[in-house]
């Protein structure tokens, strides 16, 4: 901290005396000026952070709206065509995968064989949720490529040791157009 009058660095001795030894002015003035400056810097920083957060929030809301719109109009099939549509563009393979950790099977015993026993319904519920999560990623990738549909979707289950399972999903992102659009 510096003296507000002469700019000299204030030492602890000067604080003890309440006076700047260089110019003789009262240190309370410097302290006040220091506090005002600190408050100003903090307010500026707070404002900048707030603006950043608002900007981020606005962007994420915009993005969510955009993806919600795209998801709504996006089609999926394990087949290779859609009734009433023709495929105008093949945009490439999209993939997604997820690993279901032990947490998914917390209520199950260690043996995988149990999965196909009494707890099968719980297992299939978890698998369904995992597939959905992966499809969301794939739809995002597809729409990023300009696609509005994924065809030829295939699922692959991977098993690992230690109660881990994975789902890998592959498909082809395409641009599908209604026949009437071009008629």
In contact, 150 and 172? CB cutoff 8 Å: yes
Least distance in Å: CB of 27 to Zn ion?
A: 9
- Among 18-26, 39-47, 55-63, 150-158, the segment contacting Zn ion (CB under 5 A): 18-26
State the Cα–Cα distance between residues 9 and 29, nearest whole angstrom. 14
- Among 6-14, 81-89, 105-113, 132-140, the segment contacting Zn ion (CB under 5 A): 6-14
Nearer to Zn ion, 10 or 108 (CB): 10
Task: Examine residue 134 and tell whether it contacts Zn ion (CB under 5 A).
Answer: no
Q: Phi/psi of residue 67, each to 5°?
A: -70, -35
Query: Among 2, 11, 17, 23, which residue sits at the site for Zn ion (rule: CB under 5 A)?
Result: 23
Least distance in Å: CB of 22 to Zn ion?
A: 4
Task: Examine residue 5 and tell whether it contacts Zn ion (CB under 5 A).
Answer: yes
- Among 5-13, 58-66, 131-139, 175-183, the segment contacting Zn ion (CB under 5 A): 5-13
State the Cα–Cα distance between residues 44 and 52, nearest whole angstrom. 12
Nearer to Zn ion, 9 or 125 (CB): 9
In three-state secondary structure terms, 155 is strand
DSSP 24: -
Least distance in Å: CB of 11 to Zn ion?
A: 11
Task: Examine residue 22 and tell whether it contacts Zn ion (CB under 5 A).
Answer: yes
Task: Examine residue 3 and tell whether it contacts Zn ion (CB under 5 A).
Answer: yes
Task: Examine residue 20 and tell whether it contacts Zn ion (CB under 5 A).
Answer: yes
Least distance in Å: CB of 12 to Zn ion?
A: 15
* Residue 56 to residues 41, 43, 52, 120, 143, Cα–Cα distance (Å): 22, 20, 6, 42, 22
* Residue 175 to residues 80, 151, 169, Cα–Cα distance (Å): 12, 10, 19
* Neighbouring C-alpha atoms within 13 Å toward the C-beta of 124: 6
User: What residues line the site for Zn ion (CB under 5 A)?
Assistant: 3, 5-6, 8, 20, 22-23
């Amino acid at each position: 901290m510096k003296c507000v009058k002469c700019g000299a660095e204030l030492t602890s001795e000067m604080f003890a005396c309440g006076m700047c030894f260089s110019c003789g002015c009262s240190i309370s003035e410097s302290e006040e000026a220091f506090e005002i400056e600190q408050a100003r810097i903090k307010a500026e920083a707070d404002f900048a952070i707030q603006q950043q957060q608002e900007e981020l929030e606005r962007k994420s809301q915009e993005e969510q709206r955009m993806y919600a719109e795209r998801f709504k109009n996006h089609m999926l099939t394990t087949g290779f065509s859609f009734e009433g549509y023709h495929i105008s563009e093949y945009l490439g393979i999209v993939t997604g995968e997820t690993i279901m950790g032990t947490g998914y099977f917390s209520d199950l015993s260690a043996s995988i064989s149990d999965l196909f026993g009494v707890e099968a319904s719980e297992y299939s519920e978890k698998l369904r949720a995992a597939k959905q999560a992966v499809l969301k990623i794939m739809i995002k990738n597809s729409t990023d490529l300009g696609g509005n549909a994924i065809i030829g979707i295939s699922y692959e289950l991977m098993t690992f040791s230690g109660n881990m399972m994975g789902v890998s999903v592959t498909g082809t992102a395409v641009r599908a157009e209604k026949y009437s659009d071009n008629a």
